[in-house]
Chains A and B, each alone.
Chain A
Amino acid sequence: MLSPRHNLSDYPGKYRVKDSPVHRLNAGFKLVAALGLTISALITQYIPLIAGLIVLMPVLYFISSLGLRDFWRDSRFFFFQAPLIIFLYLLKYEPAYALTQGLMVACKILLAIVPAMLVQRTTSASDMIQAFRRILPDKAAFILFTSLRFIPLLLRESLDIWHAQLLRGARITPKHLLNPKNWKDFSHCFILPLMVRILAVTREVAISAQIRGVDTYNAHIERMTSPGTPQQETAQKKEIM
């Protein structure tokens, strides 16, 4: 769970309004470049390349007029996942091998994620949707974008529900969950209300999108007014008036 100090209105990958060379790049190009960087990081075993990419990332943030704070927020997960991965390697391998391999895997994961964060930081919603639309159907592009957009809201919702249920006596802290007997509490008291809430949010988002022109044409128009020829419309108007 997130720390009580965590500010969910300032989350990793949050778009920053700046006028930098990276901001001005075409969104599609940025997506392709980020994908290229991610794939390179994942497939390479060449340590100098990994080291070079690690140096490149803060440089790109600097060129994008983003601060060190943004880079820290987007990359700090490394300091949680690296010890965890190294620990898992230590369970199976010699310490020296576990340390180098674990660190390399952690760096690869970092380099796979940070380019995507940078794209989100430097690309506005409308540009992102336009870029997605080139490779995906309109609806799929919109769904993909809104899924990313509403992650902070759903995180806030999940934290609210989690805290409220703890105060009601639900056994859902990480310590509680080490005991499988408490997993039922986790699904009933936390997952179920969260799912209900996600469904409600999804429905409201869909309504808001529909009202504002996503999937413009709807059966409502046919059912209510049956617009057709101008003569038909005039006749219908008379009927209404």
Chain B
Amino acid sequence: MNELIRVDDFGYSYPKSQLRISLDESLVLNAGEAVLISGPTGCGKSTLLGAMAGTLRGKMDGNIAISPDLVQYHNNMPRISIALVLQNPETQLLCSTVAEEAAFGPRNFNVDSLEIQNRIGKYLKLMGLEGLESRHVEDLSMGQKQRLALASVLTMEPRVILMDEPFSQLDPMGRGLLIDLMYELKNQGRGLVICEHTLDLPTGLIDHHIHMPGEVSVTNTTCTRSFTSSPGMKTVPSGDPVLRIEHVSLTHDGTAPILNDISFSINSGEKVLLSGENGSGKSSLLKCIIGALRPDSGRILINGHAEQKPTILFGTLGYLMQNPERQLFSESVYEEVAFGLKRTGHDQETCHERVLGILDLMKISDLVERSPFTLSFGQKHLVALASVLAPQPGIILLDEPFTGLDRRLHDHILEVLDHITVETSAAVMITSHDYDLHAWAHRQFTMKKGSMLHAVPSA
């Protein structure tokens, strides 16, 4: 076996934080093999990838040995043939057009221009981006951006490819494409290291599996229910309609419709899954509901009122955006969760009760005095959700709330939302390209290219 990378006794302490991660077993990557690194959210999977790629700063323990086979020379300068694909494709695309982006890496290594053209054609085709060479990267869907991020490192033809949650932004079609590509790369003798929460990858794809126990981010979180195995939908609650969408359409100048004649309504206490492929219009619909985008036609009624402005909807509607840790700003978790409650005019005693209650429900009571900025990814996620739920809004909208979370946290959040819908009769709508949430929801709406394909069961 041609050993490419070996990691022994790896450990790392995050600067200015109490967090420390370690890898108890050795990681060995051979040519033509794939290693899966799994573990709970915040256990340090991405940090380990950064260490292997050489992008991690600070003092590390242990030893990372890299085969000299991976050292290549360009203009007498050494470089290691390891590529890293990060989780967020938006920050990896550095150029204007698809072709430029794909050429950026090899151009920096002075690869011959004819060879660059060959590689662009080959890898864009492989990633299903053929014909989009002159497309501006800002005009791509999130799934296309993810595939381009991968194509743009493949054009450097690295021997080892490190992928940080490569499936998290992809719909089922994109996932299938990526799995096929992984087999192809292995057949070419390249080594793959994949960080993922989901363990449902094809058995023949993964050669070694490393589990990182890491820090448990939520105390005593044992989910008592499975949200993926129950068949079919439940009976739709017959409460009052709290959200009604009537013939909503949205376009941007010169582009295909983003939303095309969307109509549905949601009752209080109802749990709805809004699913669809990347770029189908799910997030745009949520933005119309919260008043961040104004539809070209149609109307949206919230509790019977057509006026949508975030300032008016405050207290009525709770919204958790993608990467919710972006919402955090307070000095302590307590202050963070109490912020919305104070603004809704609750007295201090009620605020205190509600904050402790929601933290207890979220099982993060032990974090009450911690600064949100020092928490792990999963903990930040839960704090952000707690701060949205604390004012008890009648409608809760969650935009891809499970990106980057492991199954345990995923199920924990669903359990919390179940509790909230029963206790407060709030309507909950989740957008996701994961179809396996259908057992949790009362109804599932599926969107494709801006149109509503179907609702299960029909309203």
Interface residues of chain A, those whose CB is within 8 Å of chain B, are: 3-5, 7, 9-11, 14-17, 69, 124-126, 146, 149-150, 152-153, 157, 159-161, 163-170, 173, 188-189, 192-193, 196-197, 201, 204-205, 207-214, 216-221, 224-225, 227, 233-234, 236-237, 239-241
Q: List 11 A-B contacts (CB under 8 A).
A: A14-B138, A17-B135, A124-B96, A166-B311, A168-B339, A205-B92, A207-B53, A211-B153, A218-B54, A220-B80, A224-B64
Confirm or deny: B388 has a beta carbon within 8 angstroms of a beta carbon on chain A. yes
Of all chain B residues, which has the CB nearest A195?
A: B329
Query: Is B80 a contact partner of A224 (Cβ separation < 8 A)?
Result: yes
In whole Å, how far is A193's beta carbon from the nearest beta carbon of chain B?
Answer: 5
Confirm or deny: B327 has a beta carbon within 8 angstroms of a beta carbon on chain A. yes
Task: Provide the residues of chain A in CB contact with B55, threshold 8 Å.
Answer: 207, 210-211, 220
Known: A221-B80, A225-B80. 6 other contacts (CB 8 A): A149-B96, A163-B291, A165-B327, A188-B329, A214-B108, A217-B77
**A219–B315 CA distance with the chains assembled, in angstroms:** 52
**A237–B71 CA distance with the chains assembled, in angstroms:** 11
Which range holds the interface residue count of chain B?
Answer: 35 or more
Query: Is A14 a contact partner of B80 (Cβ separation < 8 A)?
Result: no
Query: Is B91 a contact partner of A153 (Cβ separation < 8 A)?
Result: yes
The majority secondary structure among interface residues of chain B is: mixed
Residue of A69, A166, A196 with most partner-chain B CB within 10 A: A166
Query: Is A14 a contact partner of B104 (Cβ separation < 8 A)?
Result: no
User: Known interface pairs A168-B327, A188-B329, A205-B91. Does A125 touch B74 (Cβ–Cβ under 8 Å)?
Assistant: no
**A149–B74 CA distance with the chains assembled, in angstroms:** 27
Confirm or deny: B78 has a beta carbon within 8 angstroms of a beta carbon on chain A. yes
Task: Provide the residues of chain A in CB contact with B79, threshold 8 Å.
Answer: 213, 216-217, 221
In whole Å, how far is A8's beta carbon from the nearest beta carbon of chain B?
Answer: 8
Confirm or deny: B69 has a beta carbon within 8 angstroms of a beta carbon on chain A. yes
**A16–B104 CA distance with the chains assembled, in angstroms:** 18
Sorted nearest first, the 7 A-B pairs with minimum C-beta distance are: A220-B54, A213-B108, A169-B343, A166-B310, A204-B91, A212-B105, A7-B252
Confirm or deny: B358 has a beta carbon within 8 angstroms of a beta carbon on chain A. no
User: Known interface pairs A14-B138, A236-B68. Does A169 touch B321 (Cβ–Cβ under 8 Å)?
Assistant: no
**A217–B91 CA distance with the chains assembled, in angstroms:** 22
Task: Provide the residues of chain B in CB contact with A237, threshold 8 Å.
Answer: 67-69
**A188–B331 CA distance with the chains assembled, in angstroms:** 10
In whole Å, how far is A120's beta carbon from the nearest beta carbon of chain B?
Answer: 9
Query: Is B65 a contact partner of A208 (Cβ separation < 8 A)?
Result: no
**A239–B68 CA distance with the chains assembled, in angstroms:** 11
Pick the residue among A9, A126, A169, A233 that contacts B95 (CB under 8 A): A126
Query: Is B97 a contact partner of A4 (Cβ separation < 8 A)?
Result: no
Query: Is A224 a contact partner of B138 (Cβ separation < 8 A)?
Result: no
Confirm or deny: B66 has a beta carbon within 8 angstroms of a beta carbon on chain A. yes
**A229–B310 CA distance with the chains assembled, in angstroms:** 64
Query: Is A167 a contact partner of B318 (Cβ separation < 8 A)?
Result: yes
**A169–B312 CA distance with the chains assembled, in angstroms:** 10
Query: Is A213 a contact partner of B156 (Cβ separation < 8 A)?
Result: yes
Query: Is A167 a contact partner of B109 (Cβ separation < 8 A)?
Result: no
Query: Is B54 a contact partner of A167 (Cβ separation < 8 A)?
Result: no
In whole Å, how far is A115's beta carbon from the nearest beta carbon of chain B?
Answer: 19
